[in-house]
Chains A and B, each alone.
Chain A
Amino acid sequence: MYNQVVMDHFKNPRNVGVIEDADGVGEVGNPLCGDMMSIYIKVADNRLADIKFQTFGCGSAIAVSSMLTEIAKGKSIEEAKQISNKDVANALEGLPKNKMHCSNLGADALHMAIQNYEDRQAGITRQAPVRKEAHEHVEGEKCYCPYCDIELDDAVTFCEACHRELEEEH
């Protein structure tokens, strides 16, 4: 199901753990399947001197976390901000189509950790986002296809991008 690169990062994940005195922490959850990822960063000279992750999720989510930390480590803050979900998926040499959404967790968590670092520097306190278990449509909230992750209109029951039928919730 997974390619060798993904399996390698799943079986031997890099940079697992917690940085107790982290300069920034990012935590994201996937409301659809319940996965969760935390990224801890340590910043020195405007670079990601250290990065660690903790993930509650499938093989793909763990491999994404591991690869993301490998890509981000040593990068400048500005460079790290540019890391996209696609970069992570490409570095893993692809993920199964229905697992592409896992790659979003990684980059989102990293960007949130950087945001958290910058907020701390600027003395801003931001409320941590609440992790949702069941997905309910909230007015104004964006919805994404669970298979290919393209943005969807609220009421659609079919994803035009990947031609899959969707349930009422997505």
Chain B
Amino acid sequence: MKNYINLDHISANPLPQDVKDVMIEAIENDYHNPSSQHKAGEQAAEQIEIARQRMAELINAANPKEIVFTSGGTESVNHAIKGVAAANREKGNHIVTTNIEHNAVIRSAKRLKAMGFKITSLPVNETGRVNPKDVADAITDETILVSVMHSNNETGIIQPIEEIGRITREKKVLFHSDAVDSVGIVPIDVQALNVDLLSFASNPFYGPAGVGGLYIRRGTRIFPLLEGGVQENNKRAGTENLIGIIGMGKAAELAARDLDVRYAHLNGLKAYFLEQLPNYIDAYLVNTNPEYSLPHLVSISIKYIEGESVMLMLDEEDLAVSTKSACATGSLRASHVLLSLGLSHADAQGTLVIAFGIENTKEDIDRFLGILKNVVDTLRNMSPLYKKAVQTV
């Protein structure tokens, strides 16, 4: 779409030409089933191993065999949590997690709770971060898994994973981190982070959607989520999504090569946006942690107006953003992440998530802010809350 500006890179990313090229080439090569023992199958299997090697390099896994390809972040998270729970039940039945996780974690934990596991969900402090000491205090003799996300998909706030990893390592409890929005965007070193399991997906770092992976440290006791064939070293059954995995491998290679350049570009856009924003609108909150956050994601809550309305009006002007308003979610409930940060229901309603991408420019931000100002003015003129706020002042 011409002139369409995508500021919603947390929902989807376009594929770089190099990634498209290798995927199209893979389609045209008519690769065979990687499990087949003939030459055509072996060629396909080789392609998977190249992608695995690149993924291992991107997150500094000690051995490529520690990478298991999946259908994406949701499957990886489900595999990590349910697989560890099932495999370690005789050791204990207690899992520690946090209040700000993605629904993939929350609902997996809920499912396990219904099956008799005990779940402790920890709060975050006013800066949006989990206190590692709370994790240490929550661990009991029964604890088999700690799961804390690396970065939050609504606020971009990064959690103290390395510190928590030191605690879990010392207490000999398995540690999973949902790093779907971090891998390929910020440096991730699974060995330095002390994690046993780490979930990631391809699209956040400009690979195809529908493919992801789970890092499983060697020796980690875990059952497969999907049973069947012996693919993925017997850890994930099912014929591999070969085209997707090849695309992901290329995206991983580019992400590793360009990480610093991309980071600087995205962080620059974010800084420019936050610096310019007060010149256009007033009365808003920035839901972030200035010290520990993703370079490309900004969450703002614009007071007295509702996010879905803002998103729809921006869409009319060919600008894509995402909103965390209750109205825009299937559940119609205020975001648990925003409420955990202490936002009121009304303020949470006005929340936009702006996620910059590598193709965005400062000019995009200028155009966005100009239009955002008009949209905010229009909606505030319509809002009874704004009228009251103005009268109070």
Contact = CB atoms under 8 A, between A and B. Distances in A.
Interface string A31-69: 011111110000000000000001111111110000000
Judged by DSSP, the binding face of A is mixed
Given A33-B327, A56-B306, A57-B306, A27 B384 contact: yes
Interface residues of A, number: 32
Given A32-B332, A56-B385, A58-B308, 11 more contacts: A27-B384, A33-B345, A34-B349, A55-B383, A56-B304, A56-B306, A56-B383, A56-B386, A61-B327, A98-B332, A146-B333
A107 to B, nearest CB: 17
Given A58-B327, A58-B328, A133 B384 contact: no
Which among B325, B345, B346 has the greatest number of chain A C-beta atoms within 10 A?
B345
B382 A167 contact: no
Nearest to A133: B345
A22 B108 CA distance: 53
Interface of B: 304-306, 308-309, 312-313, 316, 325-328, 330-334, 344-346, 348-349, 381-387
B334 A33 contact: yes
Judged by DSSP, the binding face of B is helix
A16 B326 CA distance: 23
A55 B386 CA distance: 10
Nearest to B304: A56
A117 interface: no
Interface string A118-142: 0000000000000001100000000
B384 A167 contact: no
A60 B325 CA distance: 13
Contacts of B385: 36, 56
A128 to B, nearest CB: 12
Given A16-B382, A33-B333, A54 B327 contact: no
